[in-house]
Amino acid sequence: MRTYIEFALKKFQNKMAYRLEFFMGIVNTVITIVVYLCIYKALYGGATEIDGITFQMVATNFVISLGLSDAFKYNEMFLQDKIHDGTITNEFLKPVNFVFRMLSENIGEGLFKIIFNFIPALLFTLLYASLCPPKSILNLFIMLVSMMLGYLILWLISFIVQTWSFWLFSVWGIITIKNVFVNILSGSLLPMWFMPATLRKIISFTPFESIYFTPVRIYLGELCGADILSGMAVQLIWICILALVAGAFWKNGVKKLVVQGG
């Protein structure tokens, strides 16, 4: 465990070395928030609420999802690059689990992005727009836990697609398409509340609902009591399913490498 924490810390430290990237990250996040809030405002056209959903709720949904997706922005071509240049085999020479190592490093990078990009940008945004407060402090904490689960779901989906580089020459296109799907279907751009009922029904059978929407609803207090537990249980179930799928792809990919030699 110590080793993996160290991986995360190293990555975190490492990110600090790039100062320009760091300032650009803040600017980028602020601009994104401002632009989207303007768009939402225009869509509301002065109305205080649409279908019982206030502008504030939409803004809050967007900002929370953005925080999580910021944390999630790491190099998704990592595995492909390692497979292409052959350094993936180096990893099997070490007595550590490479998948956990990847996860730790991505988390380290994500923490960096949250602390140094998202939080400053958020504070800055609060000067410009008001967001909904959390239902309660407890809700805030539970949301943080639920966000971590959401992160794991995002990470596993990404990892599964990344493992396809064992068989495909380039997964760049697939990753791009995947990200479009995640952005649309998880309700970070167009909030889940406004999705057509049938689409929302379909999405509820996919892991996408569990990524951003569950934490947002916990934060806003839309889910309470037993609903919180069942929402998080669904998140956990998706994590298990995705982890099994990811494990299967990974095992077979590695097998291809060690048996056939790449």
Partner 1 sequence: MQMIEVNGIKKYYKVAKRDKGITSSVKHLFHRNYQVKKAVDDISFSIKKGEIVGFIGPNGAGKSTTIKMLSGILYPDEGKLQINGYIPYKQRKQYVKNIGVVFGQKSQLHWDLPLIESFELMKYIYKIPQNLYEENLEKFTKLLDMENFINQPVRQLSLGQRMRGDIVAALLHSPEIVFFDEPTIGLDVVAKEKIREFIKYMNETEQTTIIFTTHDMQDIEKVCDRLIIIDEGKKIYDGTIDGIKNKYANSKTIEILLENGEKEVKTFDINKTPMNEVMEGLFSKYHIKDISICEPEIDEIIRDIYEGRVALKTTDGKVGEI
Ligand X SMILES: Nc1ncnc2c1ncn2[C@@H]1O[C@H](COP(=O)(O)OP(=O)(O)OP(=O)(O)O)[C@@H](O)[C@H]1O
Q: Which residues bind partner 1 (CB under 8 A)?
A: 2-3, 6-7, 10, 13-14, 17, 85-87, 89-90, 92-96, 257-261
The whole-angstrom separation of Cα 70 and Cα 116 is: 11
The whole-angstrom separation of Cα 239 and Cα 160 is: 12
Q: Among 113, 99, 89, which Cα is nearest to 246's?
A: 99
| Cβ proximity to partner 1, 104 vs 179, nearer residue | 104
Identify what 183 binds: ligand X, partner 1, none; CB under 5 to 8 Å per kind. Answer: none
The CB-of-8 to partner 1 minimum distance in angstroms stands at: 11
Identify what 21 binds: ligand X, partner 1, none; CB under 5 to 8 Å per kind. Answer: none
| Cβ proximity to partner 1, 86 vs 133, nearer residue | 86
**Token pair for 24:** 């650009």
DSSP string, 14-35: HHHT-HHHHHHHHHHHHHHHHH
- Name residue 49's beta-bridge partners: 54
Q: Say if residues 193 and 30 touch (Cβ distance below 8 Å).
A: no
Identify what 92 binds: ligand X, partner 1, none; CB under 5 to 8 Å per kind. Answer: partner 1
Identify what 173 binds: ligand X, partner 1, none; CB under 5 to 8 Å per kind. Answer: none
The whole-angstrom separation of Cα 18 and Cα 30 is: 19
Q: Say if residues 185 and 208 touch (Cβ distance below 8 Å).
A: yes
Identify what 204 binds: ligand X, partner 1, none; CB under 5 to 8 Å per kind. Answer: none
| Cβ proximity to ligand X, 83 vs 239, nearer residue | 83
The CB-of-258 to partner 1 minimum distance in angstroms stands at: 5
For the chain, the helix, strand and coil percentages under 3-state DSSP, each to the nearest 5: 75, 0, 20
| Cβ proximity to partner 1, 49 vs 81, nearer residue | 81
The whole-angstrom separation of Cα 175 and Cα 73 is: 12
The CB-of-18 to partner 1 minimum distance in angstroms stands at: 9
Q: Which residues bind ligand X (CB under 6 A)?
A: 261-262
| Cβ proximity to ligand X, 173 vs 261, nearer residue | 261
The CB-of-174 to ligand X minimum distance in angstroms stands at: 24
